[in-house]
Structure 1
Amino acid sequence: MTHATKRFLLVDDDPNYNFINKVLLKRSFNEVHIDDFTVPEEGLEFIKSETSPNSPNGKTILLLDINMPIISGWEFLKAFELFDASIKDQYNIYILSSSIDPSDMNRANSNPRVIDFLEKPLNKEILLKIFG
């Protein structure tokens, strides 16, 4: 799709979705860097501790599932909000969920940090929606 290096952070408790998404992203971009987490708390710790998360080509795309055990995507977003603005501003957040509940979609759309609510599975059409 493009030659610029793209950075992705996948947070989904289902390792199969993370695997499939990584394969699709690697096939879709010439240069891609992907970090993935099945434990949301580890994803938050990664965000907090990473010193230079962005490539020179833009923000990191965070694809976040909402229906996860222990902490949900909504709780992840609350914890993310506690980070310094210099960290938060380095991410474009998309909810990537199998939920068809309109209240989930409305909740995502009402969060100023969430750019869009995307339905699983990730596919080329969704990537075109994100990157144009």
Structure 2
Amino acid sequence: MKNKLKRILLIDDDESSNYLHRIIIKQAEVAEEIETMTRADKAIDYLKDLNSSRPDDLPDLVFLDINMPAMNGWDFLNAYAELDLENKEKLKIVMLTASVNPNDVLRARTNVFVSEIFHKPLSVEAVMEKLPGLFP
């Protein structure tokens, strides 16, 4: 990747996964800042708030877990589709999954907002190999 991303947002209900993925992203040296959230509904509110107060601080990339309680990754994508964000097309969403269900992969690949799918847990190699292709 030519330049580090300004901000990555991790959305996963599992705090230990967020902790591990934060370390991996730091080791890959692909982002200046890493935010974590454990609830997708709160992440939607966070994006709305940033958009209205500091749109330049919106994340460049969102790592989104599929399976979460209350609002799952699919629900997040539906809510995200309704958001009126500045430069929405620049924000990349990468689905995170531990699922081996081929329907999850197909559903993610056919969603207009999903740029890539990563299998959990993230690895430094996967981050360094796949992210540059999302940010030419």
TM class, shorter-length:
0.7 to 0.9
Do the aligned partners of residues 48 and 85 (structure 1) sit closer, same or farther apart at CA in structure 2, a change above 3 Å counting?
Answer: closer
Trace 1:1-132 onto structure 2 (pairs within 5 A).
4-29=4-29, 32-50=32-50, 51=54, 52-54=56-58, 60-86=60-86, 88-127=88-127, 128-132=129-133
Question: Which SS does the other structure have where 1:89 is aligned?
Answer: helix
The one-letter code of the counterpart of 2:65 is: D
Q: Determine if contact 1:47/1:87 at 8 Å carries over to the other structure.
A: no
User: RMSD across aligned C-alpha pairs, in angstroms?
Assistant: 1.9
Q: Which runs of 5+ in 2 are unaligned?
A: none
CA drift at 1:5: 4.3
* TM-score, structure 1 as length reference: 0.87
CA drift at 1:44: 0.8
Q: Determine if contact 1:6/1:29 at 8 Å carries over to the other structure.
A: no
Aligned residues with identical type, % of pairs: 32
Q: Which runs of 5+ in 1 are unaligned?
A: none
Instruction: Please give the alpha-carbon distance, in whole angstroms, between the structure 1 residues aligned to 2:114 and 2:93.
Output: 5
* TM-score, structure 2 as length reference: 0.85
Do the aligned partners of residues 107 and 30 (structure 1) sit closer, same or farther apart at CA in structure 2, a change above 3 Å counting?
Answer: closer
Q: Which has the higher contact order (CA 8 A, sep 6+)?
A: 2
Equivalenced residues, count = 128
